[in-house]
């Protein structure tokens, strides 16, 4: 009887992509790259969305909708409103102004600047004139004037957007303005092109690897 011995197994040749021992390491690295790529892509999208929404809300909204925005420059209303915060004010009938409201108005003296302070006293006359005394929450004394609210509308603070006023002020710097207005759109365009191009490249690599097996 003649015994038939099984043919010895030949060692599998390494693929064109590199030695077989390198494949597990490559597979372990791919999830990390995928996570980083996913995080970077969505971070970029969130940054763009935040910038667009901020622009629409602060620059376009007040001209289209019935509200106003103003950056707080002093700490007179701290801690509820800090310097650099943006206050959002909506219209209110002058006859509805009450003690305790935080309103935005022009002071009746000096440069007639706009301030945002809390109403501490309201005086209504028989002819319908409304005068108010105000005070900043952080100030020890009332404002040294009595303001007559002219017209039919006052503006009451409804919301506070923290710190965004500092960002707006910083963007007015010539260098930063050039960076964000001219260079940032170019960088965003390049990132979008890269994100479109890379998935196709990965598909090609996968097809090549599958054909080599």
Domain-located, residue 23: no
Residues 81 and 96 in one domain: yes
Residues 55 and 71 in one domain: no
pLDDT in tens, 109-141: 989 999 999 999 999 998 889 999 999 999 999
Write down which residue in 148, 165, 182 finishes a domain: 165
Planar angle of CA 153, 158, 164, nearest 5 degrees: 115
pLDDT at 42 (0 to 100) = 81
Higher pLDDT, 94 or 13: 94
- The domain that contains 133 carries what CATH number? 2.10.109.10
pLDDT at 175 (0 to 100) = 65
Domain-located, residue 10: no
How far apart are alpha carbons 87 and 65 in whole angstroms? 15
Domain-located, residue 97: yes
Domain that holds residue 119: 67-165
Residues 194 and 159 in one domain: no
pLDDT at 9 (0 to 100) = 59
Higher pLDDT, 98 or 25: 98
pLDDT at 177 (0 to 100) = 57
How far apart are alpha carbons 105 and 102 in whole angstroms? 10
pLDDT in tens, 34-91: 887 778 778 767 766 766 676 666 666 676 778 888 889 899 999 999 998 989 999 9
Q: What residues contact residue 65 under an 8 Å CB cut-off, 6+ apart?
A: none
Residues 56 and 73 in one domain: no
Residues 154 and 76 in one domain: yes
Domain-located, residue 4: no
Residues 159 and 206 in one domain: no
pLDDT at 64 (0 to 100) = 73
Residues 55 and 138 in one domain: no
Residues 84 and 143 in one domain: yes
Considering its fold, how many domains does the chain have in total?
3
Percentage of the chain exceeding pLDDT 90: 36
Domain-located, residue 26: no
What dihedral angle (degrees, nearest 10) is formed by the CA atoms of 112, 113, 119, 121? -20
Residues 83 and 144 in one domain: yes
Q: Nearest to residue 73, comparing CAs of 110, 108, 109, 117?
A: 117
Residues 58 and 140 in one domain: no
Domain-located, residue 6: no
Domain-located, residue 19: no
User: Whole-model pTM?
Assistant: 0.59
Domain-located, residue 150: yes
* Residue 92 pLDDT exceeds 90: yes
pLDDT at 37 (0 to 100) = 76
Residues 71 and 59 in one domain: no
* Confidence class for position 202, pLDDT limits 50, 70, 90: very low
């Amino acid at each position: 009887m003649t015994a038939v011995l099984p043919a010895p197994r030949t060692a599998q040749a390494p693929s064109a992509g590199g030695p077989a021992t390198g494949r597990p390491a490559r597979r372990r690295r791919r999830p990390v790259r995928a996570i980083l790529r996913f995080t970077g892509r969505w971070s970029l999208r969130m940054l763009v969305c935040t910038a667009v929404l901020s622009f629409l809300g602060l620059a376009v909204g007040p001209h289209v909708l019935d509200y106003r925005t103003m950056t707080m420059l002093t700490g007179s209303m701290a801690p509820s409103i800090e310097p650099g915060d943006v206050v959002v004010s909506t219209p209110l009938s002058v006859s509805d102004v009450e003690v305790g409201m935080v309103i935005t108005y022009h002071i009746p003296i000096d440069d007639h600047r706009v301030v945002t302070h809390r109403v501490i006293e309201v005086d209504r006359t028989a002819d319908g004139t409304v005068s108010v005394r105000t005070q900043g929450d952080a100030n020890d004394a009332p404002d040294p004037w009595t303001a007559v609210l002219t017209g039919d509308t006052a503006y009451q603070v409804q919301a506070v957007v923290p710190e965004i006023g500092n960002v707006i002020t910083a963007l007015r710097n010539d260098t930063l303005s050039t960076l964000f207005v001219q260079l940032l759109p170019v960088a965003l365009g390049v990132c979008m092109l890269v994100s479109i191009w890379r998935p196709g490249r990965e598909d090609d690599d996968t097809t090549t690897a599958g054909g080599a097996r």
